[in-house]
Chains A and B, each alone.
Chain A
């Protein structure tokens, strides 16, 4: 069964430091998509970054990069030079191929606190 595991319920990081949020996934399908979303206290679900299972290079979007290690089924999010506005809940998610399930499966999330 497809599953996303985020082992860090909460993290505290000093401003300007780099942050790595862990995510592992379980799937037997060769084709899938991986996502990271940010949910601030205001509630909206903000798309950060996407990685396809066949993408050769790790995805990057500004200060966000996804450390994709396919053999280890790992998709960690790296935030460089953290800012106070990065304080939020972060969800790792996976989408299986449509022929199996047409949905996005979420992990339990990691609450990130950036300290001034």
Chain B
């Protein structure tokens, strides 16, 4: 069965650079979530999309933006990267409310 695909799996960037993370949800899933997980932390919600429109927003820095495209894939754009942005970034998808939600394998971002 198809799963949530994230790319790249690993990314190393320098401070003040820009990064783009991509997420391809499970086909026919209508909701995408983005999370940030620091070392030893629980995942922190960043933003979600339902049917290609932003549906909720969490503690996402103004330097970050995200969108969902017509083919339902989503991208998280991160600018002016800081050392503290180093984390594991997850994307998850689900179909309608109150059903299972599946996570991708994550993108490990390291800012040096």
The residues of A with any CB-CB pair to B shorter than 8 Å are: 31-33, 35, 37, 43-47, 50, 52-53, 91, 95, 97-98, 101-109
B105 touches A104 (CB 8 A): no
Given the contacts A47-B102, A50-B100, A102 and B48 also touching, CB distance less than 8 Å = yes
Interface of B, helix, strand, loop or mixed by DSSP: strand
B56 touches A103 (CB 8 A): yes
Q: How large is the interface on B (under 10, 10 to 19, 20 to 34, 35 or more residues)?
A: 20 to 34
Number of A-B residue pairs having CB atoms within 8 Å of each other in the complex: 64
Interface of A, helix, strand, loop or mixed by DSSP: loop
B72 located at the interface, meaning its Cβ lies under 8 Å from any Cβ of chain A in the complex = no
Given the contacts A47-B100, A50-B99, A52-B98, A102 and B105 also touching, CB distance less than 8 Å = no
B102 contacts across to A, CB distance below 8 A = 47
| Residue from A31, A35, A98 whose CB has the most chain B CB atoms within 10 Å | A98
Instruction: Give the complex CA separation of A34 and B99 in angstroms.
Output: 9
Given the contacts A43-B88, A101-B56, A106 and B43 also touching, CB distance less than 8 Å = yes
A45 touches B106 (CB 8 A): yes
B99 touches A104 (CB 8 A): no
